[in-house]
Structure 1
Amino acid sequence: MSQVGTGMHSIVSILAAALCLTGAAAGAAADGSSPPAPFALDDYAKISRITELAISADGALVAYAAERASEERDGFARRIFIQETGDEAQPRQVLQGRNASQLAWIPGTRELAYLAAGDHGAQLYATAFPSRKTRQITNSRNPVVWYAFSNSGELAWITQDAPAPGEKGMTLYERLHEGDRGVVVNPEFARLYDFIDPFYSAQKTQRPRTLWLARPGERAARIDLPGDPASGRWSPDATRLSVAYAARTLPERPFIDAYASIGVLDVAAGEFRTVGAARYFSGEKPARYFLGGEWSAEGDALYLRRVTQDSLWRGRQEWRRLPLERRRGETGDRAAMGGGWKPLDFYPAGSAILDSGEGRVFVNAIKNGRRKLYSLSGEGGDATRFRSFPDGDLSRFRFTGDYRSAVFVSESLVRPPEVYFWRKGQAPRQLTSLNGAVSARQMPASRAVRWHGRDGSVISGWLLEPPDAHDNPRPRPLLTFVHGGPSMPMTDSFAQYYTTNGGIWPYPLEALAMKGVSVFIPNYRGARSFGDEFANPSRPDGQPLQDISLGIDALIKKGVADPGRLAVAGHSHGAWLGALVVTRRKDIVAASFGEGPQNNFLTYIFSPGYLYANGYHKLWGASPYDSPQTYIETSPVFEFDGAGAAILFESGVRYQAIAMLESPKAAALSGLPAEFVVYPKTGHNIRSPDLQIESAARNLDWVLFWLTGVEDPSPDKREQYRRWRRLRKDASDDLSSQWRRRKPAANRPRQSE
């Protein structure tokens, strides 16, 4: 691949100019009117997320899906819109009641294709515009789960077998809760969620899938593959199809379909050959899987990503351009055995690589915690920005086939998402006003921050501050938010943790900043997009913990944070790591942790056996039965003595509630004020808008109460504050002696220090 041509440079420069103008217009009131109402807790339910985006081949029509909390029920409303890209065009809501998904314009037409419910589960439909005439394209006996049209009208789709009448057996949960006989449980595969979540068994198993092909006017043909297909991509000339599939040779494991292989189907010859074969762990051999399969503009090569895992939670990511030669009957794992692999420095690894021809190859992905449009160089393989973008997160780029028009989503930490349209030679412009009411609110200030790790490495993150922070700089209360994963980096996007994928956990970070609490969001080691070395620290409680703590120290030194009013919050992995921050630093006043057990013994015990040898044993060096000290020193529940934080623990009843029941007890035994809240009908993520608001309000109140002493005067919160004032008095008067340990645990040396 050669360097990116001037055409793509012009794309970026025009985007930058337009978005700068948009930001300037939003930042001041031209008529000198009073400032807008501040962003508040209730505004979270008004945020619309753009979850799908598609542009017609001629660039004249855009389709997009937007989701926001429903006003009629406790759930989310999904709306589909069609909008012309001309000036002053207005959106039209379409496909009401169809629950349409996987929106895509059929090449060369103004027909919008989508999946919607049919007689046998989801089927493929198309609706023409402006006539709105709808036709059903597939009528499979089994649900359609994926489809793709070629540039010349050929269709590929994948069906997933539905249970035959009378075939469906009871899940482990159903047998345990509704059966009438004892159940033999296999500890190799069973985990805590099998016993408490009625939906977990269905999530971890996948029924067989089949690939189908059809040319215009011809009957569909079933394609035999060496595994279950997941997706595919047509070559530019529609003669071949790259296919991602889960090979039948892989061992039986929950979620084993994540270990994808890539192959190429010669449509005319009916021949299939594997170019990248996945494998699971075997002895000392690492596991590996493949992503991608995008075609070069000339159709003579594939873009592949290879992930090689030394353990389940440590791995190297690479990419390459794999030349393809048409040699009929050829088989073999060319991509896995060949050279030419380059380090992959963007996230997610499966972000689509786009080849527009003439050496112009780019990807819309996250690098160094920033989601932008990046070029891929042919020399080092690095993803580099074409040139400077304005602050903000750019996502969901969709180009026309000639790359002369595109749509994308733009947002920032303080600017909700909207759809923008770009045409070559013109400045991009905002198409939608889905979040106009939210955007009109007064927002916090935001900026990127950098500091150095103990080894001198540059660490980065984000800072949300009250709106007057620039004009009135002073040390303020600080909440440090520790993200989960830890591979998913935090980007310059709006309410990322509250709204992504329907909501991860509803921490009200923006609302806290509007109440005078600065919010620090570090991208600590373990996060992807900063290189493999950064993503693979030797121990998860070593450098990551240091990165976070040194970041807090840097903000204190710069006069941003008040050292007497520090708080920490985190979810999942971030709840465990954040709790370690509380135990290692003694200056944290308040904390809130969701869905993350603080006892590594319980995490191990409640996990299935297949996660042991290639997971926990490699992560910590041994099992807890062989090296209990390692598991003790990395479990916050054994380290709460000497800490000074009031801790709110939250969990979903279907996930970590049982494992986290110990945490408030351990905190109370150490004299720490603690509260434990379990949310009904909830797993690892809160997906109920009503419960999201409840949790967000509780977190906002908790942090403000313990950091600033502020109480919400609402009558319905009187009991909450009575309870918390009692916790504060008990901690102050040492009235919790019946819970406290008689003697504080001695300080123990830690391997990570």
Structure 2
Amino acid sequence: MSLMKWMVRRLWVVGALSVACVCVCHADDMSPRRLLEVADIASPTVSPDVRRVAFRVERASVARHTYDAEWYVQGLDEPWPRRVGDGGVPLRDSAGGSLSPKLVWSPDGRWIYYLALIDGTIDVWRAAADGSGAQALTHDAADVRDFNLGEGGKVLRYSVGATRDDVRAAEQGEYDDGIRIDASVPIGQGLFRSGFVGGRLATQRFSTVWFDHLPLLADRPDRWAQIDLTTGARRALADAEVPAVSSPLNDTAGVDGDAWKSVADAQGERVAWLTHIGDAAGQQVRPDVLLSALPHAQASRAVRCVSALCTGKAITAMQWRPAHDEVLFTVTDPYMGMAQSIFRWNVSRGDVHVVAATDGLANGGRDTASNCGVSAATLVCVTAQADRPPRLERIDVGSGERRVLFDPNAALAMDMLKAPPVRLLRWQDKSGQRFAGWFFSARRGGDAPAPLFITYYSCAGFLRGGVGDEWPLVSLAQAGISALCIDRRPGFTMDAVARYGEGLTAVESAIDLLARQGEIDRARVGMGGLSFGGEVTMWTLAHSHLLAAASVANPVLSPLYDLMGSMKGDAFAKGLRSLWGLGSPSDTPARWKALSPVFQLDRIDAPILFQHSEQEYLYALDYEIPLIRAHRADLYVFPNEPHQKFQPKHKLAAYERNLDWFRFWLQGYEDPDPAKAAQYARWRQMKARAHADKGEHVNAPVVIGASAS
């Protein structure tokens, strides 16, 4: 590499790290904004010549209220990557989660192909791997749904649905004529262009999967087209030319259990399967995972992995090792803080060897089930730990040697070393049930036990704020409130009372342990959660006196939820019966009284902060309005947000308000920022009402220093 090129790349990485440090005033400032603007890495994919890797970096920008996504290519022996293309606005699922981007290398390694939402259209883009330029190829009237390369990389095939003009016309037609309410209409959110789809506000409908959303005309069948990459000529594909979608799950070659995942080798001749086995015993799926594979192309029956390293393990991902008789598989240990280990299983000999064991995630992004980039000799993985933000690592498949390739969060990682310490906490309840979670020990000025905040559900990778990223754990610890993220136990217990009871006993036994150790003050414990974490928080409020304050980001079961959801018909009723044992409130009144907070308001004695998405908040008003009117809750709703909020300013507001909320209730602290005066006036009124109900005196608030956020 020439000196000039080295200097340019050095300047590039310094610039990248400078972006990572936006708004950093002090080296030890772990503000919610820093946690929000972490760079995430996704879809590392090794080139055909196995000398380079392509990947995408995504980062929130609060200032511009958007996300930046960019594609990079890096040589496996080079110190810095080069930017090769704009990734556009990250595509999301209907719950708000960022989708893993699809990337395809050209066979000659000159190009990478990917989908990107840029200027309001989703196209297939091609970027030169040397960074010399990128361009959209499809320019279709409809957004591209999928794509692949054919004929040795000479043609691009892609699929589309309804055109953008047709979708907008359908939306406007409904607006003009009135929207007929039927089972497909998502009651509980705005009916016209109220949710983000393809980067714009669009009208939505329910899919066939619970409360999943789709845009209008999403049921239009795929139309496939082909572009000759040499001449630029394009044509529509006939049905017979449409790429076939193979599903190795259809034939499991006599493998035991319930088929779950399958993957074929590069030649399409051998298949590996993951199946669920064992006695379900009240669980939604069988408890154990079996790894099986066809050992060679002529084999008619699969062989099992019987080593102790692959039996009784939580295997979450697998892929074939190129040019080898080996399957690489990942174990994600729920009792070790969701730490991942990667193994290689020789399907011919049966032996299993450890490739890498980590204290956090090692895969293709934030999803525990995603794969690393792979070649015959090398894995390229996104690694992250509870107290270390994502970075890209190269792992030698044979020796397990690891080397950092790219670390866009290096400055934050260095500052995390100065933040309050984090450790894996493992414990048992009185009945012997095992639990684990990551504990952020509070920064304390003396020997007095600290307050504690708990979130419950899943604690994988770099912990910004629990599931949904709404509770800034390290910011709380820095402000003097210890924070604990608890992983739910493996499996899904079908009986809802038992399911919620597992969460409650996890919380209660953790508080007992930390209080006995003198770490925390059991009289000052708060809790928050999203989705199942929100359900367990509400259950803990109603079935214990453990909490001094709570924060919940989603609705839970209520008659109003049932009434609105019942428009979906039999599918909704079947789900309620299966997951909660519920019929209608009139058919199963005792069960509703046991499960819904509507019938348990007198049991709730801690203040609650509700921060809901606009698409969901109406489901909860039958229990939240009584709490608000009684000055026992505060409710905020974020416009146009789905189940998981994703708009940067909204996420920052939720982060900062949660920090303010728990500092107020657990520390008696008020931020002196004049813009927050009305907030604290409401909360003081809530506190006065609570103390008056108990016949207690209210102490004056503590106002010290500047805002911790």
Match of 1:354 among 310, 320, 327: 320
Match of 1:393 among 361, 385, 398: 361
CA distance in 1, matches of 2:514, 2:225: 57
Matching of residue 734 in structure 1 with residue 702 in structure 2? no
CA distance 1:322–1:142, shift in 2 (3 Å): farther
CA distance in 2, matches of 1:161, 1:46: 34
Contact 2:73 2:84 in 1 (8 A): yes
Instruction: Give the aligned partner of residue 59 of structure 2.
Output: 68
Match of 2:48 among 57, 63, 73: 57
Instruction: Give the aligned partner of residue 605 of structure 2.
Output: 644
Q: Unpaired runs of 5+ in structure 2?
A: 1-25, 91-100, 196-202, 207-212, 365-370, 696-709
Matching of residue 192 in structure 1 with residue 188 in structure 2? yes
TM-score by length of 1: 0.70
Specify the code of the residue in structure 2 equivalent to 1:547. A
Matching of residue 208 in structure 1 with residue 204 in structure 2? no
Contact 1:414 1:444 in 2 (8 A): no
Match of 1:605 among 545, 558, 563: 563
CA distance 1:189–1:375, shift in 2 (3 Å): farther
Q: Give 1:438 deviation, angstroms.
A: 1.9
Instruction: Give the aligned partner of residue 466 of structure 1.
Output: 442
Contact 2:105 2:111 in 1 (8 A): yes
Instruction: Give the aligned partner of residue 476 of structure 1.
Output: 450
Q: Give 1:505 deviation, angstroms.
A: 4.3
Contact 1:573 1:596 in 2 (8 A): no
Q: Give 1:569 deviation, angstroms.
A: 0.8
CA distance in 2, matches of 1:120, 1:636: 42
Matching of residue 90 in structure 1 with residue 80 in structure 2? yes
Matching of residue 507 in structure 1 with residue 471 in structure 2? yes
For the residue of structure 2 that corresponds to 1:611, the secondary structure is helix
Specify the code of the residue in structure 2 equivalent to 1:315. V
Q: Give 1:512 deviation, angstroms.
A: 0.4
Contact 2:339 2:358 in 1 (8 A): no
CA distance in 1, matches of 2:313, 2:224: 30
Match of 1:684 among 619, 643, 648: 643
Match of 1:413 among 380, 383, 386: 386
Matching of residue 314 in structure 1 with residue 280 in structure 2? no
Specify the code of the residue in structure 2 equivalent to 1:394. A
For the residue of structure 1 that corresponds to 2:28, the secondary structure is coil
Q: Give 1:143 deviation, angstroms.
A: 4.3
CA distance 1:383–1:697, shift in 2 (3 Å): farther
Residue correspondence of structure 1 range 500-539 to structure 2 within 5 A: 504-525=468-489, 530=490, 532=491, 539=498
Matching of residue 661 in structure 1 with residue 621 in structure 2? yes
CA distance in 2, matches of 1:138, 1:678: 39
CA distance 1:609–1:560, shift in 2 (3 Å): farther
Specify the code of the residue in structure 2 equivalent to 1:304. W
Q: Give 1:435 deviation, angstroms.
A: 1.4
Identity between Structure 1 and Structure 2 (%): 21
CA distance in 2, matches of 1:119, 1:418: 29
Contact 1:48 1:66 in 2 (8 A): yes
CA distance in 1, matches of 2:507, 2:665: 21
CA distance in 2, matches of 1:93, 1:452: 48
CA distance in 2, matches of 1:609, 1:69: 39
Matching of residue 620 in structure 1 with residue 580 in structure 2? yes
Q: Give 1:710 deviation, angstroms.
A: 1.4
Q: Give 1:165 deviation, angstroms.
A: 6.5
For the residue of structure 1 that corresponds to 2:578, the secondary structure is helix
Contact 1:407 1:420 in 2 (8 A): yes
Q: Give 1:314 deviation, angstroms.
A: 2.6
Instruction: Give the aligned partner of residue 425 of structure 2.
Output: 449
For the residue of structure 1 that corresponds to 2:536, the secondary structure is helix
| 1:491-546 C-alpha deviation (Å, 9 max, x unpaired) | 24231647xxxxx2422112101111111222224xxxx3x477987743333333
Specify the code of the residue in structure 2 equivalent to 1:481. T
CA distance 1:133–1:523, shift in 2 (3 Å): closer
Specify the code of the residue in structure 1 equivalent to 2:264. W
CA distance in 2, matches of 1:700, 1:419: 31
Instruction: Give the aligned partner of residue 267 of structure 1.
Output: none
Instruction: Give the aligned partner of residue 655 of structure 2.
Output: 696
Q: Give 1:445 deviation, angstroms.
A: 1.4
Match of 2:553 among 584, 594, 619: 594
Q: Give 1:320 deviation, angstroms.
A: 5.2
Contact 2:495 2:581 in 1 (8 A): no
Instruction: Give the aligned partner of residue 109 of structure 1.
Output: 109
Residue correspondence of structure 1 range 11-160 to structure 2 within 5 A: 36-70=27-61, 72-87=63-78, 89-96=79-86, 102-116=102-116, 122-130=122-130, 132=132, 143-149=143-149, 153=153, 157-160=157-160
| 1:212-249 C-alpha deviation (Å, 9 max, x unpaired) | 799998998958589xx9xx9xxxxxxxx7625xxxxx
Matching of residue 428 in structure 1 with residue 385 in structure 2? no
Q: Give 1:200 deviation, angstroms.
A: 2.9
| 1:684-732 C-alpha deviation (Å, 9 max, x unpaired) | 2222211211111111011011111111122222222222222211221
Specify the code of the residue in structure 1 equivalent to 2:514. L
CA distance in 2, matches of 1:182, 1:144: 27
Specify the code of the residue in structure 1 equivalent to 2:182. N
| 1:118-168 C-alpha deviation (Å, 9 max, x unpaired) | 999544343333372657766777544333458965878451322496587
CA distance in 2, matches of 1:385, 1:698: 47
Contact 2:528 2:534 in 1 (8 A): yes
CA distance in 2, matches of 1:702, 1:135: 47
Q: Give 1:581 deviation, angstroms.
A: 0.3
| 1:15-67 C-alpha deviation (Å, 9 max, x unpaired) | xxxxxxxxxxxxxxxxxxxx942312331243111133223233433322212
Matching of residue 161 in structure 1 with residue 135 in structure 2? no
Instruction: Give the aligned partner of residue 438 of structure 1.
Output: 412
Matching of residue 583 in structure 1 with residue 542 in structure 2? yes
Q: Give 1:681 deviation, angstroms.
A: 2.7
Instruction: Give the aligned partner of residue 676 of structure 2.
Output: 717
RMSD, aligned CA: 4.5
CA distance 1:339–1:553, shift in 2 (3 Å): same
Instruction: Give the aligned partner of residue 557 of structure 1.
Output: 516
For the residue of structure 2 that corresponds to 1:546, the secondary structure is helix
CA distance in 2, matches of 1:481, 1:433: 28
Matching of residue 363 in structure 1 with residue 367 in structure 2? no
Instruction: Give the aligned partner of residue 258 of structure 1.
Output: none
CA distance 1:51–1:154, shift in 2 (3 Å): same
Specify the code of the residue in structure 2 equivalent to 1:418. R
For the residue of structure 2 that corresponds to 1:73, the secondary structure is coil
Contact 2:528 2:537 in 1 (8 A): yes
Instruction: Give the aligned partner of residue 343 of structure 2.
Output: 375
CA distance in 2, matches of 1:564, 1:114: 53
CA distance 1:157–1:618, shift in 2 (3 Å): same
